[in-house]
Each structure stands twice: as structure tokens, then as C-alpha cells.
Amino acid sequence: MKKKQGSKKHLSIKQLFLFAGFLVMLISLSFGLYQTYAALTDRDQKQNEFRVGNFQTSIEEEFDPPASFEPEKDYLKKVAIKNTGEQESFIRVLALPILTKKQANGSILLLPATTDGPAPVLSIDYNLTDWINGNDGYFYYKKKLKKNERTANLFTKVKMNQASITDEYKGVLLSFEIKAEGISATRYAYRDAWWNGQIPTIAPLVQIDDLLKIQTVNE
């Protein structure tokens, strides 16, 4: 009986060592996988940062938000972009008008601020001579900018249309979210950054591509 008990103890210790070894291997493998994932993630992030953040632009705007945004009245709002980087750049801009109203309970109500369609809430005098509406949320500047060059104004004034609003718009406030992107004029960096490397096949992006590609340079 004693021999049998000793045999069982020996087997249990052996199993314990085997289990411990397996656990160490599992932890090592998991750590290795984590390092690989972290390295890939970090590399992707750096690539993205380089592609969209390597070229500097500054938004130059003239706008004094009115205390009361009244319908059928033109309000001055000028938006232009300056190339503050070292390289020639192509520019696109997202300019999103925002209409908000403070409620009696202190919450903020976001109201529709449409600029197109049969009954637009806002009228904005977009400059479609120097810019093209990409119909993808962005306006594209037709010409590349050299260092310290400035675009023509994207627009200069905004108006709220009485015929398109309800009483709910009384006391509404106007603001804008402006996002500008500059990308190198080298061939074909703008396609990579803006269209995932694809050549557009639908208007008006086809026309935008046609304008930009003849201005690209080789490096």
C-alpha cells in the first residue's frame, strides 16, 4: 500500500510540472501575439498620421456669431485656407453649418441646417468658380497651393430662409464646424489620402481628379 501511495505522489508532482510548463508556454505565446498586434497597430497609426498630418494648413475665417440669428438677413462669414507647410498642397474643406437652440430645461436642441434640396433652411453663397462641391461632404480647391498661398473664399455670407423654417427656429444660434485637409501635390498622393487609392468613376469626383492630376509633380 505504501508503494502505491508513493507512486501516486510521484505522478501528481510530474503532472504539476507539466502543467506549469504548459502555462509558461501559453503566457509566452500570448505575450508574443500581443507584441505582434501592438507593433502592427502602432505602425498603422503612424502611417495614417504621416499621410494626413504631414502637411499644415490654417483656416482663416471672418465671422462674428450673431446673438440672434434672424431669417432673411445676410450674415458675413468668410472662410479661406492658407498653406502653412513647406510643400505644395491640394486642399479640401468640410464646412458644416450647425443650428442649435437652448431648451427651457437647459438641454441643447440640434435643428436641421440643410443647404440644398427643394426647401433649404440656409442659403450659402458657395464659390463654385474656384471650388468644386464633391457631393461627398467636401469642397475641393481647383488649384494647388504653394507655400504661404491662400485659397479664394469658399463662401462669404449665410442666410436663413423664412419659407423653410417653423416657429421652432425662433431664437436659434448659428455656428460652423470647419475641417481643412491639405495633401502633397506629388503624384498621386491625393487619391491615396482621400479616395483610398482609387480613381473616381462618378461625377463630380471625376472632374476633380481630372483637374488635380494635371497639376501633380513627380518626386
Q: What is the pLDDT of residues 28-43, one digit of tens each?
A: 444 333 332 322 223 2
The whole-angstrom separation of Cα 157 and Cα 155 is 6
Statement: residue 48 has pLDDT above 50:
no
If asked whether residues 94 and 5 sit together in one domain, one would say no
If asked whether residues 105 and 170 sit together in one domain, one would say yes
The tens digit of pLDDT for each residue in 98-121 reads 999 999 999 999 999 999 999 999
Query: What's the pLDDT at 5?
Result: 47
Is 12 domain-assigned?
yes
> Residue 81 belongs to what domain range?
57-213
Statement: residue 201 has pLDDT above 50:
yes
CATH number at residue 182: 2.60.40
Is 219 domain-assigned?
no
* Mean pLDDT score, 15-35: 45
Q: Per-residue confidence at 63, pLDDT binned at 50, 70, 90?
A: confident
8-state DSSP, 167: G
Domains contained in the chain, number = 2
The whole-angstrom separation of Cα 95 and Cα 60 is 13
Q: Per-residue confidence at 18, pLDDT binned at 50, 70, 90?
A: low
Which is nearest to 139 in space by CA: 174, 188, 180?
180
